[in-house]
Amino acid sequence: MADSDGRQVDGVNHATDKDVKLQEIALAKNEGKELTKEEKQRLRKEKKQHKKNKKDDKGPPEKEKEKEKASVPAPSKPATQSPAHKAAPAPVHASESAAAAEKPAKSKAELRAERRARQDSERTSKQGKKEGGQQSASSKPKATPNELQPVVKRLPEHVQVDDPAALKKLAKKLERQQKSGQGCGLNKTGVEVPLRSDYGYKVSLFSHLHQYSRKSPPTLQISIPATVIHPSIVRLGLQYSQGIIAGSNARSVALLHTFKQVIQDYSTPPNEELSRDLVNKLSPYISFLSQCRPLSASMGNAIKYIKKEISNIPSQCKEEEAKGKLQACIDSYINEKIILASEAISKYAIEKISDGDVILVYGCSSLVNHILCKAFEKQRKFRVIVVDSRPRLEGREALRRLVKKGIRCTYVLISALSYILPEVSKVFLGAHALLANGYVMSRVGTSQIALVAKAYNVPVLVCCETYKFCERVQTDSFVSNELDDPDDLIVTRNGKSHLENWQTVKSLGLLNLVYDVTPPDFVDLVITDLGMIPCTSVPVVLRVKNVDQ
């Protein structure tokens, strides 16, 4: 700022042609064309100073300061840049501009960074329309000169998993999260929130998904003790990635218990508000967990709930009280949405089980097992057929639990499905999530069972708690799924494993899908804690729930 003012003063004193030159440069800047190196460096230095002065204070005060900063200098300043930055309400963007400022001074990289930052700001300003009417209004007229630049439509980051530029960006984002969590005191040899690299050849239809190997755990590069990530989160992440904790309910409950531990150990740093700082502390944890294993819909809803509860803590609340309140909230969430819900669902489901029934179940759903055990306790006479599939063989666990109760069970693999179905009177399926258009997302193989059951006119009942309902819409299993470790498919028989060297065969890909999506026409009834509803009424329940909240 001072420099340009000085320069302008000089310009006044000196010859007019220099003045004209300056004005030309200013004009060029205003139209958003190529900036000169010096101008860019100066801008970056100012921003760095600015960030150092403010620490982690985000939100309105920063925006106001930026506004001031933008308004004070003469209109020759690159006005297009700063309002575009100030318009974005998200703190991520503010730190992104800092990150952009910290990149090495190579001209092409700079330009790309500035352009990307501008595009991100446009995107976030579009998202932030709800938050700042004024701000978005101010960003709109100033965003238009940006559009003179060729705006490249970019796919969201999570879809571009193989693009090296996107990977680099993700790595930077994770680094930034560690930095924001620590404030100034930096150090570290090891990466705190590690970026897992993909393993093996991916089938082209699923190349937009990550495929990790269980042999390279995400914690390889984490330093001990981990300062950014709480140790119980590290443990939880490992348990997820190694498959020790599996199953939608189990993962959510483990996550909530771990968050309770985190809140217990949390202490508000000085000059910070618990409601804002704790949410920011949770972000690197959540990124780490999603690196270990992509978050499930139920975990996503639980996290949304916790974040809402945290940000609703009044600022005058004392820390101990707030922590106690949060822990009570988490306990009541687990109790209401999972434990009591399963009791309610069992009550409804038992009405549908009559004496002499032959019930088919697939895999190991904690809810379905609970229902069957309860029905058995209520003296209903039925027998169960457990269908199982490789490579997880979860049906064995379900079989173990049911047999322990004393229920008569039969065990088949999914390839024998059409052989066994004429005997079956009902099919009970669990769900991982229920999508907003009525599709059921569940363990791979579920839609196959529903399809064959429909062909044999056997009623299909899906049991799902309401906290697993998610706003997403999906009509096929490709768009969003999870790829498990392909090495799981290698089977060793008689000491020989034929697929051992599958990596060497260039044209061979092993696909280990985890989820699939079942259309609502194959599902006859969904039993939730609100009652029995048809599959098409899921959006109504979502609407009612949102109204309640």
Partner 1 sequence: MIKDKTFEFKNGGDPDVASAVAAIRSLLEFLRRDQSETILGLRENMTQAIRRLEETDSSVAVSSGGELFLRFISLTSLEHPDLSQCKNVMIERGELFLKKISLSRGKVGKLCHTFIKDGAKILTHSSSRVVLKVLENAAADNKRFTVYVTESQPDSAGKRMAQKLRKLNIPVMVVLDAAVGYIMEKVDLVIVGAEGVVESGGVINKIGTYQMAVCSKAHNKPFYVVAESFKFVRLYPLNQQDVPDRFKYTADILKTVKDLNQEHPMIDYTPPSLITLLFTDLGVLTPSAVSDELIKLYL
Residues in the chain: 549
**Choice between 499 and 525, CB closer to partner 1:** 525
**Shortest Cβ distance from residue 463 to partner 1 (Å)?**
14
Residue 358 lies near partner 1 (rule: CB under 8 A): no
For residue 57, the SS3 value is coil
Q: Residue 538 burial by CB count (10 A; 0-12/13-18/19+): exposed, middle or buried?
A: buried
Q: Hey, what amino acid is at 505?
A: V
Contact 431, 442 (CB under 8 A): yes
**Shortest Cβ distance from residue 374 to partner 1 (Å)?**
19
**Choice between 226 and 525, CB closer to partner 1:** 525
Single out the residue of 35, 295, 461, 462 in contact with partner 1 (rule: CB under 8 A). 461
**Shortest Cβ distance from residue 248 to partner 1 (Å)?**
24
Give residues with Cβ within 8 angstroms of 452, minimum separation 6: 417, 418, 421
Rounded CA-CA distance 299/282 in Å is: 14
**Choice between 255 and 541, CB closer to partner 1:** 541
Give residues with Cβ within 8 angstroms of 66, minimum separation 6: 50, 82, 85, 86
Rounded CA-CA distance 411/388 in Å is: 7
Q: How many CA atoms lie within 13 A of 288 on its CB side?
A: 33
For residue 382, the SS3 value is strand
How many residues bind partner 1 (CB under 8 A)? The answer is 18
Contact 410, 385 (CB under 8 A): yes
Q: Which two tokens stand for residue 175?
A: 């680094």
Residue 350 lies near partner 1 (rule: CB under 8 A): no
Residue 356 lies near partner 1 (rule: CB under 8 A): no
**Choice between 235 and 380, CB closer to partner 1:** 380
**Shortest Cβ distance from residue 386 to partner 1 (Å)?**
21
Residue 455 lies near partner 1 (rule: CB under 8 A): no
Q: Which of residues 487-526 bind partner 1 (CB under 8 A)?
A: 521, 524-525
**Choice between 289 and 530, CB closer to partner 1:** 530
Q: What is the 3-state secondary structure (H, E, C) of 226-243?
A: CCCCCHHHHHHHHHHHCC
Single out the residue of 172, 208, 235, 352 in contact with partner 1 (rule: CB under 8 A). 352
Single out the residue of 77, 230, 426, 443 in contact with partner 1 (rule: CB under 8 A). 426
Binding mask 317-336 for partner 1 (x = CB under 8 A): --------------------
Rounded CA-CA distance 281/307 in Å is: 11
Binding mask 385-424 for partner 1 (x = CB under 8 A): ----------------------------------------
Give residues with Cβ within 8 angstroms of 326, minimum separation 6: 263, 306, 309, 310, 313
Rounded CA-CA distance 102/116 in Å is: 14
Q: Which two tokens stand for residue 72?
A: 């004070």
Query: What's the Cα-to-Cα distance from 460 to each of 344, 402, 469, rounded to whole Å?
Result: 19, 20, 19
Rounded CA-CA distance 509/207 in Å is: 11
**Nearest to residue 424, comparing CAs of 389, 384, 370?**
384
**Shortest Cβ distance from residue 29 to partner 1 (Å)?**
56
Rounded CA-CA distance 19/1 in Å is: 17
**Shortest Cβ distance from residue 536 to partner 1 (Å)?**
4
Cis before residue 422, ω within 30 degrees of 0? Answer: no
**Shortest Cβ distance from residue 467 to partner 1 (Å)?**
17
Map tokens 């309640």 to a residue. Answer: 548
Longest dimension (CA), the chain: 102
**Choice between 191 and 533, CB closer to partner 1:** 533
Residue 115 lies near partner 1 (rule: CB under 8 A): no
Rounded CA-CA distance 291/156 in Å is: 17
Share of the chain residues as helix, strand and coil, in percent rounded to the nearest 5: 55, 10, 35
Q: What is the dihedral of CA 497, 503, 509, 512, to 10 degrees?
A: 60
Map tokens 């620590």 to a residue. Answer: 182
**Choice between 441 and 526, CB closer to partner 1:** 526
**Choice between 393 and 540, CB closer to partner 1:** 540
Binding mask 528-547 for partner 1 (x = CB under 8 A): --xxxxx-xx--xx--x---
Binding mask 134-173 for partner 1 (x = CB under 8 A): ----------------------------------------
Residue 436 lies near partner 1 (rule: CB under 8 A): no
**Shortest Cβ distance from residue 95 to partner 1 (Å)?**
44
**Shortest Cβ distance from residue 453 to partner 1 (Å)?**
12
Single out the residue of 73, 145, 324, 459 in contact with partner 1 (rule: CB under 8 A). 459
**Choice between 162 and 351, CB closer to partner 1:** 351
Note the helical H segments in 154-242: 164-182, 231-241
**Choice between 285 and 522, CB closer to partner 1:** 522
Binding mask 174-203 for partner 1 (x = CB under 8 A): ------------------------------
**Choice between 417 and 461, CB closer to partner 1:** 461
**Choice between 402 and 458, CB closer to partner 1:** 458
**Choice between 171 and 350, CB closer to partner 1:** 350
CA 356 from centroid of its chain's CA atoms: 44
Q: Which of residues 49-108 bind partner 1 (CB under 8 A)?
A: none
**Choice between 412 and 525, CB closer to partner 1:** 525
**Shortest Cβ distance from residue 524 to partner 1 (Å)?**
6
Residue ranges that bind partner 1, judged by CB under 8 A = 352, 354, 426, 459, 461, 521, 524-525, 530-534, 536-537, 540-541, 544
